[in-house]
Structure 1
Amino acid sequence: MTKTYHVTTGGKLYLAGEYAVLTPGQTALIKYIPILMEATIQANPDYQLSSDLFDYSVDLYPDKQYALIQETVSIVNDYLVKLGHTLSPFRLRISGKFEKNGKKIGIGSSGSVIILTIKAMAEFYKIHLSADLLFRLASYVLLKRGDNGSMGDLACIAYEDFIAFTSFNRQKIRELIAENELLTVLTADWGYQIRPIKVTLPCEFLVGWTGTPAISKDMIALVQASISSDFLEQTQIAVEQIEQGLKKADQELVSAGLKRAGQLLEKLHPAIYSKTLQDLVGATKNLTAIAKSSGAGGGDCGVALTFDTKSSCCLIEKWQQAGIELLWQEVLA
């Protein structure tokens, strides 16, 4: 009987630094969200790739809908051959959608699909991949596709942890990819930092979903064009305040940092804070809690930290009254 292997992966949400981290050397705080996607993989006479996002399956012949999965398989195959493995065709099925009522939730990303595919192939070929190598392979896939995201989502999903991610120069690594073979690129110094955050401050992490999509790619480009050196400098200070406060159990420092990070986003571009996101943040008034938008903004999700049980309950109730759904709740310490 053919053995079937199962792997899972989750999603992520930005606590702070989401726009600044697009600039090399800037840091963002990103929280792993274990709302899971699953993949199964087993030996098969021919390659067969399927996802419950689509109503058909493919092999490795290029298909627009499956391009991300196909390119990931191709790059991991290249890696395996360079390690001396003999390739075997397989059937890969990916299931799980980061959706609610047919609407996309911004906790997942193309990164979740890439990492899930890589993990499935590693399990199939019985090779161990460190979290860092998993991150690099996944980043390689996106960089080769011309993606210019920070890769912070990949770092968080690969490490399955709450992390501080300092971004690298993607153009420099893209040039490295163009001029060198895969193993050389994977072992080069990329210049990023990934630090898991050990939270000692007693608090809860809450995610509120507005039910509306985040702003469009075109609008994101307009927001990015508004980024100044002062915004980067002030955001970095806020991110460092939050990280240090969480590590040293300093509630005032965390609250000040999150408030600063949110205000900086508000000033960056009016598209970031929709009316519902303003309500999401405003609901923390008179509570021992602090909230801000998360990710691109304009809709989708916001995040909050609460510092006592009563505030958590009151905030959830206020969100519900404003039409905001509690998507995730987790005690951090």
Structure 2
Amino acid sequence: MIVAEAPGKLFVNGEYAVVEPGRHAIIVGVSKFIRATLRPAVPAEGSTVSSPHFGSQPVPVLIEGDLVSIEAPGAELVRECIRVVVQLARERAIDIAPFALEIESELDDESGRKFGLGSSGAVAVVTVRALAQHLGLDVDDEAVYRLASLATIELRPAASCADIATSTLGGWVHYASPDRLAVRELRRTRGVAASLSDAWPGLVLEALPDPSSTVLHVGWTSAPASTAELVGTLHAGDWRSSAEYARFLEESDRITAALVVAVRSDTVDHALTAIRDAEANLEALDELSGIGIRTKALKALIAAARSVGIPAKTSGAGGGDCGIALAPARNEALDAAWRAAGIEVLNLHVVPHSRVGVREHG
């Protein structure tokens, strides 16, 4: 049996800049997981996949050559992840041994509430990890990231794949998105194996040390947001060619670089300054674009944190979901201020790099 785990993610900075190829972000893996359990299957029964999202019974996975079919609503990402691993195995002349794959999620609660922690990226990572391990493919973390990203880009060419990077590495991650159109063309012209070895223009994938002087606080507004919808609105704006947007991107990259230095040096004051700057930069983008990053509830989250002297900002697409704050220690006054403002304090912490990957094999 193989068990693969991947954490959810939260952006610290760069959530809108990173949709542009070569732009940078800093993200953290947090303590809610997607888990994939894979067992060898009897050849006569064929391969199956199970998930609460696909119904109560295992769904057949039909594999014919490089083609994969899963007849279940919402199974497109899992299908593409299986397909990219199958293609790699075929290129390496490895037989596809049948399997029973089960996917479980902690990224929403018992009532089905979603917190904006990047479940699709984590699902892609655990599917790739588990199946690659099952087939005996020798893939390191960067190869897992690349395989999961290749699958995602087939479905959503504009996806930054930052969630995949974070679910692959865990901990604090410095990331810059590759040119996804170039990556997709690379796969189509050179194949999957070459896509693992050839350069991806713009890509930065770096695991940062876990800082001991900085504690992440997470608040939830009780209003789930659609990342695809908000980022789609961003891409549709004529203002993306404006000087103001160019200044936003440059400032976002400057802040991310400052955060990377602060994390590496474990300098909490510099990290807090960067969060203040990041919040102001996103406010400027929201005013420029009018896409609604900062909802009334998220503004209340930021104001409540400021009232107790702690910098906070939206995390991810905004429009709902989560806000974050950094502090030198766990701050009960911040938690109380958030609750008084109607913000739910989430019991999340940054997951160390050592906590992700294949957890069990035997």
2:4 is equivalent to residue 7 of structure 1: yes
Identity over aligned pairs, percent: 27
Q: Offset of 1:323 from its aligned partner?
A: 2.0
State the partner residue of 1:314.
333
Aligned partner of 1:151 in structure 2 is 161
What is the total number of aligned residue pairs between the two structures? Answer: 328
Q: Could you state the TM-score of these two structures normalised by the residue count of structure 1?
A: 0.91
Question: Residue 201 of structure 1 contacts residue 245 of structure 1 at CA under 8 Å; is this kept in 2?
Answer: no
2:272, 2:327 within 8 Å by CA — same for their partners in 1? no
Q: Is 1:300 paired with 2:301?
A: no
CA separation of 1:102 and 1:331: change in aligned 2, threshold 3 A: closer
Give the corresponding residue for 2:231: 220
2:13 alignment partner AA: A
CA shift in 2, pair 1:70/1:9, >3 Å: same
Alignment correspondent of 1:324:
343
Q: Bigger shift: 246-255 or 291-300?
A: 246-255
Q: Distance in 2 between matches of 1:50 and 1:31?
A: 28
Cα distance in 2 for residues equivalent to 1:90 and 1:220: 36
Contact kept in structure 2, 1:201 and 1:247, CA below 8 Å: no
- d(CA) in 2 for partners of 1:202, 1:10: 22
CA separation of 1:112/1:330 partners in 2, compared to 1, >3 Å: closer, same or farther?
closer
The structure-2 alpha-carbon separation of the partners of 1:332 and 1:246, relative to structure 1 and needing over 3 Å to count, comes to farther
Instruction: Give distance in 2, aligned partners of 1:216 and 1:144.
Output: 18
> What does residue 14 of structure 2 align with?
17
In structure 1, how many angstroms separate the alpha carbons of the residues matched to 2:94 and 2:310?
52
Uncovered stretches (5+) of structure 2, i.e. residues with no partner: 63-68, 353-362
User: What does the per-residue CA deviation read over 1:271-302, in whole Å, with 9 as the maximum and x for residues that have no partner?
Assistant: 11111111111122243521100000011011
- The structure-2 alpha-carbon separation of the partners of 1:87 and 1:215, relative to structure 1 and needing over 3 Å to count, comes to closer
In the alignment, residue 325 of structure 1 is paired with which amino acid? E
The residue that corresponds to 1:265 in the other structure is 282
**SS across alignment from 1:113:** helix
Report the Cα offset of residue 6 of structure 1. 2.0
Whether the aligned pair in 2 keeps the contact of 1:204 and 1:307 (CA below 8 Å) is yes
Q: Aligned equivalents of 1:109 and 1:37: distance in 2?
A: 7
Deviations 1:218-247, CA, capped at 9 Å, x for gaps: 443223434411110111111112221222
**Aligned letter for 1:300?**
D
1:172 aligns with 2:200: no
User: Unaligned stretches of 5+ in structure 1?
Assistant: none
Report the Cα offset of residue 256 of structure 1: 2.2
The residue type equivalent to 1:98 in the other structure is L
Asked if residue 274 in structure 1 is aligned to residue 295 in structure 2, the reply is yes
RCO greater where, 1 or 2, for CA within 8 Å and sep 6 or more? 2
CA 1:28–1:93: 2 relative to 1, 3 Å: same
The aligned amino acid for 2:336 is E
2:22 aligned partner, one-letter code? G
The two structures have a TM-score, normalised by structure 2, of 0.84
Deviation string 1:146-170 (CA, Å, 9 cap, x unpaired) is 4311111111111122111012111
